[in-house]
Structure 1
Amino acid sequence: MTGVDLAAVRTFVAAADSGRFQDAAGELSITQQAVSKRIATLEKILGVRLFTRTARGVKLTIDGQAFLPHARDLLRAEERAVASVRPGRRALRVDVIGRRLGPAAVLGDFHRAHPEVELDVVTLFDADAAIDAIRSGTIDASFRAVTMPGRRLFDDIGVARAFDEPIEIVIGPAHELADLRAVTPAELVGYRIWMPGLVPGTEWGAYYDDLAAAFGLTIEVTGPDFGTKPLLDTLADSRSLATLVGERTHLVWPAEHGLRRIPVRDPIPVYPHSLVWHRNNPHPALAALRTHLSSGRRPEHAEAETTWTPAWA
């Protein structure tokens, strides 16, 4: 099958369905001579006769009958391949940083509002990887905090603030702050805040570095990162250890852990999520996502004057 021309395969199927080269030519908007030439070339490649001529037109040979269903499969495969990359037909591919984090929840809101949009959700390492993927066409968009010091964006990349996510602490039932309904950054001073998933040089690492510096917090990244479950297990048994998460981060723990999620207030630290995309990307679902984000419900803290983000945000 090496070297088979799909145009010739399409011509073969049209001729087989109509029984006349002339009718196939009309259907494909080519000349009858072009039909004959394509069929002859295909027969030469395959090494068999596909048609015999009759008084009324053409008739499939035994080999032609055997080849026909496979020819239809080839054309269907071509159609699927083209549809997979055609804007509006293929899934919108979006990077959400992590599947339990706020951007994934916001993208879930978009999907519920637009169930007709097919989504392909991915998780990339950091903003640099996401922007490279956007430029290469590997993904359509990403939720990132992108205005880090030293970050250089070009005219081909679009960036718009998507949402600000308030920060909460997660602590165990024996923690000294466990009975509070809200805590201030000042009240967290002196407590160990353990965040083993932070990676130096990433945009989320820069955010929490600045948060710690602004309020004198002790954020530790020591020890291996075994994932969320071991972290929550450790917090459940600790009187002094805490961690920080976004308000929309999805966490599940056994009921006996008794963990608390407590908002941080006065001021409210918020994580600045932006949507990043390529300005030349024509995917209609990308435009729908941007509209959805720009017209979303204002968060409860939106009117508050006491919010905090890093100066670079």
Structure 2
Amino acid sequence: MDTEAVRSFVRAADLGQLRHAADELGVTQQAVSKRIAALERELGVRLFTRTARGVELTLDGRAFLPHARGIVADVDRAVAAVRPRSRALRIDVLGLRSAQAVALHDYWRSHPETDLDVVTLRVDDPHVAAAAVQTGDVDASFRTVTDPATLPRDVRMIHAFDSPLELLVGPRHPLASARTLTPPQLRGLRIRVPGIVPRSEWAEFYDQLAAAFDLHVDAAGPNFGDEVLLDALADSADLATLVGARDRYIWPAGHDLRRIPIVDPTLAYPLSLLVRRTNPHPGLRAVVDHFARLAPLPEPVWLPSWAPAPRRGAGDTGRSVVRAVAYPVG
């Protein structure tokens, strides 16, 4: 069924004249007449009768009108759902329990009127995510391309916020009672971080982190998911992992896992947004500004060498940032 013919029928029914419907739809009166005639042939009924004042609905036309209104409304909603300037702001996150999703949820709770669509592209290569931004499949993606020169010309990368790391251990771990830890205290620990994909941005992050602080980060073997890792931490007296402070993890109460902040320096994962250079979604600016107002991390802060420069808010005079360099072992 031709949805434009249905739309022409609805407007003609509402306005009572084909000429007025044609003016509103931006077509000729003859085009509206032909559309309605084709619709009548397809349905096998007459929808209008001609009068001196215009057109009036037949009994069949009256029966069809509410359904036709529903068809037009459904089409309009479908178009709005995929049209970048009118659909919901669509942002790609790595996972719905990630710091990115948590920060977006915090924004939405304070701005519930925002039409927001949080999606997960489920791709490891950030260049694939950049292509999705370029084509408009998503309006922004929480990905980092460590070499910005390889980005598409019409996609840029902006700093969103930095996610501090914590050590996650079970109750029998030697460091379980610590209030905070420093990076040197992590040396020699058995740190398991499954799911590090070779050549991904997080693989480069952990490579630089391990080199800077002489850490052993084990990513070998299959990734069976967070629940399996959390079970292993609860049962082990020496296993640990690194998690983002804003990442959401849920485990049974009996696990009694401990999240321990790492300070002096704070180890931070820089989170960036890939966005289009031109015609960004109108709702994106408020989200980016929200991230810029997040509380600063305890200084000094360690960041990998490819971390983009943070956006500075009013009154921000800078911060102490330690880039990826090797720390003395002794």
TM-score normalised over the length of structure 1 = 0.86
CA positional deviation for 1:199: 1.5
Distance 1:20 1:271, change over 3 A: closer
Q: Distance in 1 between matches of 2:71 and 2:248?
A: 44
Structure 1 residues 176-187: aligned runs within 5 Å: 176-187=174-185
CA positional deviation for 1:125: 2.5
Larger Rg: 1
Name the residue aligned to 1:249: 247
Which residue type is aligned with residue 111 of structure 2? H
Name the residue aligned to 1:155: 153
Alignment length, in residue pairs? 305
Distance 1:104 1:58, change over 3 A: closer
Q: Distance in 1 between matches of 2:231 and 2:115?
A: 36
Q: Deviations over 1:148-185 (max 9, x none)?
A: 5x861243112111111111111112112222222222
CA positional deviation for 1:59: 3.6
Q: Distance in 1 between matches of 2:261 and 2:252?
A: 21
Distance 1:215 1:77, change over 3 A: same
CA positional deviation for 1:234: 0.9
Which residue type is aligned with residue 94 of structure 1? I
Q: Deviations over 1:260-291 (max 9, x none)?
A: 11112222211011121112243211122122
Say which of 86, 91, 95 aligns to 1:94.
Answer: 91
Distance 1:290 1:51, change over 3 A: same
Structure 1: stretches of 5+ with no match in the other structure: none
Distance 1:202 1:61, change over 3 A: same
Q: Distance in 1 between matches of 2:141 and 2:3?
A: 39
Distance 1:132 1:17, change over 3 A: closer
CA positional deviation for 1:141: 0.6
CA positional deviation for 1:245: 0.7
Distance 1:151 1:239, change over 3 A: farther
Asked if 2 retains the 8 angstrom alpha-carbon contact of 1:156 and 1:279, the reply is yes
Name the residue aligned to 1:218: 216
Tell me, what secondary structure is at the counterpart of 1:144?
Answer: coil
Q: Deviations over 1:97-145 (max 9, x none)?
A: 1111111111112112221112211223332232121112111111223
Name the residue aligned to 1:312: 306
Q: What percent of counterpart residues are identical? A: 55
Name the residue aligned to 1:116: 113
Structure 1 residues 9-88: aligned runs within 5 Å: 9-21=6-18, 24=21, 35-44=32-41, 46-54=43-51, 57-87=54-84
Name the residue aligned to 1:290: 288
Q: Distance in 2 between matches of 1:49 and 1:28?
A: 22
Asked if 2 retains the 8 angstrom alpha-carbon contact of 1:170 and 1:259, the reply is yes
Tell me, what secondary structure is at the counterpart of 2:241?
Answer: strand
Tell me, what secondary structure is at the counterpart of 2:160?
Answer: strand
Structure 2: stretches of 5+ with no match in the other structure: 308-330
Asked if 2 retains the 8 angstrom alpha-carbon contact of 1:25 and 1:32, the reply is yes
Asked if 1 retains the 8 angstrom alpha-carbon contact of 2:163 and 2:268, the reply is yes
CA positional deviation for 1:88: 5.3
Which residue type is aligned with residue 129 of structure 1? V
CA positional deviation for 1:47: 5.0
Deviates more, 1:58-67 or 1:193-202: 58-67
Asked if 1 retains the 8 angstrom alpha-carbon contact of 2:144 and 2:274, the reply is no
CA positional deviation for 1:32: 5.3
Distance 1:312 1:63, change over 3 A: same
Deviates more, 1:78-87 or 1:129-138: 78-87
Say which of 168, 191, 194 aligns to 2:192.
Answer: 194
Distance 1:224 1:41, change over 3 A: closer
Tell me, what secondary structure is at the counterpart of 2:222?
Answer: coil
Q: Distance in 2 between matches of 1:197 and 1:163?
A: 22
Q: Distance in 2 between matches of 1:167 and 1:120?
A: 27
Tell me, what secondary structure is at the counterpart of 1:231?
Answer: helix
